[in-house]
Amino acid sequence: MMERTFGMIKPNAMNKNIIGEIIKRAESNGLKLIEAKIKQLTTDEAKLFYLEHKERPFYDELVTFMTSGPVMVMAFEGENAVDVWRTVMGHTDPAQAEAGTIRKDFGDSIGENAAHGSDAPGSAKRELSFFFE
Ligand code: DAT
Ligand code: MG
């Protein structure tokens, strides 16, 4: 099924100059980049974006990290885009991520795991509208 998903390159990955490599992996797996921008998240934006994790012990650390430098927000379109992008990114914890995934290759820790991807079509819709028209 043709669908859209939301992806983000996190600050640690932005520091590694691998935007091209990350987009190449998405494109090689059938995803088309249809919108993108580089921006600095405000603390309020990061808190709201990750509101579902508000009660988690890592919430403050997550917000601090996500505002530590610019991110790149992206809209992808393709067959099963949500699942495809999650697969290309790999497991949340880089130490547990499959070989050849973005998080395995560029993640530094479970917190600084290089990329974000929506986990379901519903969250994709919400996250896309959070950053794009
Ligand atoms: P995902 O990003 O794979 O959807 P998630 O929604 O469970 O994972 O968590 C959102 C982000 O929060 C994750 O990308 C990194 C951070 N995070 C998750 N679990 C963590 C933990 N145990 N310690 C520190 N940061 C964590
Ligand atoms: Mg998630």
- Tokens 């980049």 appear where? 33
Q: What is the DSSP string of 45-107?
A: HHHHHTGGGTTSTTHHHHHHHHTSS-EEEEEEEEETHHHHHHHHH--SSGGGSPTT-HHHHH-
Ligand 2 mean position to 20 CA, how many Å?
Answer: 23
Ligand 1 atom 16 nearest Cα: 111
Is residue 116 annotated as a catalytic residue, yes or no?
yes
User: Is pTM beyond 0.95 here?
Assistant: yes
* Chain segment 19-63, per-residue pLDDT in tens: 999 999 999 999 999 999 999 999 999 999 999 999 999 999 999
DSSP structural state of residue 15: T
Query: Angle at Cα 126 formed by Cα 52 and Cα 4, nearest 5°?
Result: 125
In contact, 10 and 35? CB cutoff 8 Å: no
* Chain segment 89-101, per-residue pLDDT in tens: 999 999 999 999 9
Q: Which amino acid is at 73?
A: V
